[in-house]
Amino acid sequence: FFMQTPEERSDGDPTTSDGVYVLTTRTPSSFGVAVGDRITLEGRVKEYYGLTQIEVNSRQSTVVLSSNNPLPQPIDLKMAALDWTVGEDVHPLERYEGMYVRVADAEVFAPTNYFDEFGITLTGERPFREAGVEIDLYPEQAEYDVPRFDLNPELIEVDPEEMGLPVEFVTVGSVVTVTGGLSYSYRDYQIWPSDLQVDLAEYQPRPVRDRAEGEYTIATQNMENFFDLVNDPGRDDSPMEDYVPDRQENYEIRLRKLSEQVRVVLGAPDILAIQEIENARVLTDLIFQIHQDDPTLRYAGCFQEGNDDRGIDNAFIVRTDRVNLLTCERLPGSLTALAPLSGQRLFGRPPLVLEAELLTDPTVRITLVNLHIKSLSGAETEIVQVRRMAQALMVADYVQALLNEDPARNVVLLGDLNSYEVSDGLVDVQGILAGDVDPSEALLSPDYDPLEPNLVNQALRVPAGERYSYIYNSTSQVLDSILTTPGLDAFVTDAQFSRGNADALHPWHE
């Protein structure tokens, strides 16, 4: 529970909190404590992952002095005139940690997630991933002169369960009024509400626009753990794993959902790069499902096995009425290349290179490289930083070789790049892939210009307020992108992000 110094006993210092979170070994009621009680207690003060709390182990440590006292007026955080530009100084919300607070009429920018939390901001603006090293996660990097990302201090998550309220499945665009204790958990300030009012917005996936006459469309889609029920030898894909469907019925539901994602939400693209699909068998099932759902659509697929322990890989599907599939192979050397420092395979999911011909008049040949870069897990370690840079450099060197041979070659890099359109301050993966690297923007950068001319990041065509493909810790970010050679960029008419899982409730992802 939360407790707060009565107003008449406050020290009056606006920079320090009058409240604190109390952690009991049993429920507060079993300690004889109720809302509105004035109490005295003894316990051990502890800083628990950024949250100051008092740990109380026995009922004898808590004495109720009086009951049914009026609660303090909640601090209106929207009206608190906080400075959000403090950088690495004390967080602006620290002064209210543990206190009774309120945020009225706040728009939800991050839907209910796996942990039953949703995200709002005190500025009313969507929070985006900005350039730089995360200030709290990598303090050991503070000595280096690289940009720092402040983690969007205006962002607050709401976790109804912490104070006993039921889970609220809240969609993006909903408006909430929340009152409760201000806490800190897993790098975010959170309100653990005693009262929550929700004006729920209806949410539907938002497709890309219809293609115009003469347009060809290229898309990328991470299908996230798209497994069937077969337990393949040498892979961690047993139905006992929580990312593998446990029944045929659930596998078929995913097939129908992903068919709709391809046909409707992505507008049946001419070429689709797929990440996190298990094998050729699953790809065949998906193509069959698409054709069942819309017999006018004819797709052909290509797939190559990689090194991932679980078995997730890259694939392409192309519309055979609009595209000729010429060749489809792993990027040369990527299956067996070794990572610096660790000596492990450089790529868990080797890049997949598609040579295709758009059936225009005359036809246009195009080279597409489907990427699923090493994730950001462990990105604070040198081993992961070096591996991510080596992956990006191998791809950039390959593209440079193609352009050296034919400067007019049409090349597209696309997929789940597990990096941002801005540098993360550690390794600027998208910058390396594009050949646009500023050594002052990252701890680790190549010692040569990896690509000339630079590629064009098509995500930058998307209006800033729509520029995200993923939401992590309630912060919107671009992990998935499409980069093109400059000559091909001249023919690009538009770039869009469809809206599906990123803005949807976590239970809808299955």
Asked if residue 209 is part of any domain, the answer here is: no
- In this structure, are 380 and 502 located in the same domain? yes
Give per-residue pLDDT as tens, 92-114.
999 999 999 999 999 999 999 98
What is the spatial distance between Cα 387 and Cα 306, in angstroms, rounded to a whole number?
A: 17
- In this structure, are 467 and 379 located in the same domain? yes
Q: What are phi and psi of 284, to 5 degrees?
A: -65, -40
Which tokens sit at 335?
């299956």
- In this structure, are 192 and 119 located in the same domain? yes
- In this structure, are 329 and 192 located in the same domain? no
- In this structure, are 363 and 494 located in the same domain? yes
Give per-residue pLDDT as tens, 316-351.
999 999 999 999 999 999 999 999 999 999 999 999
For CA atoms 162, 167, 173, 176, give the dihedral sign.
Answer: negative
In the predicted model, what is the mean pLDDT of residues 265-272?
Answer: 98
Give per-residue pLDDT as tens, 51-106.
999 999 888 889 999 999 999 999 999 999 788 876 657 899 999 999 999 999 99
- In this structure, are 358 and 494 located in the same domain? yes
Residue 129's CATH number: 2.40.50
Asked if residue 210 is part of any domain, the answer here is: no
Cβ atoms within 10 Å, residue 495: 18
- In this structure, are 404 and 486 located in the same domain? yes
CA neighbor of 14 nearest in space, from 70, 85, 83: 83
- In this structure, are 62 and 148 located in the same domain? no
Count structural domains, the chain.
3
Q: Decide: pTM greater than 0.75.
A: yes
For CA atoms 332, 335, 336, 340, give the dihedral sign.
Answer: positive
Distances from the Cα of 46 to the Cαs of 23, 43, 52, 53, 76, in angstroms? 10, 9, 6, 5, 27
Measured in whole angstroms, the distance separating CA 119 from the mean position of its chain's CA atoms is: 13
CB 318 within 8 A of CB 327: no
CB 154 within 8 A of CB 91: no
Domain range for residue 32? Answer: 1-72
**Tokens 């929580």 appear where?**
242
- In this structure, are 196 and 227 located in the same domain? no
- In this structure, are 290 and 438 located in the same domain? yes
Which tokens sit at 233?
């030898």
pLDDT of residue 459: 98
| pLDDT score of 509 more than 70 | no
In the predicted model, what is the mean pLDDT of residues 286-307?
Answer: 98
- In this structure, are 40 and 112 located in the same domain? no
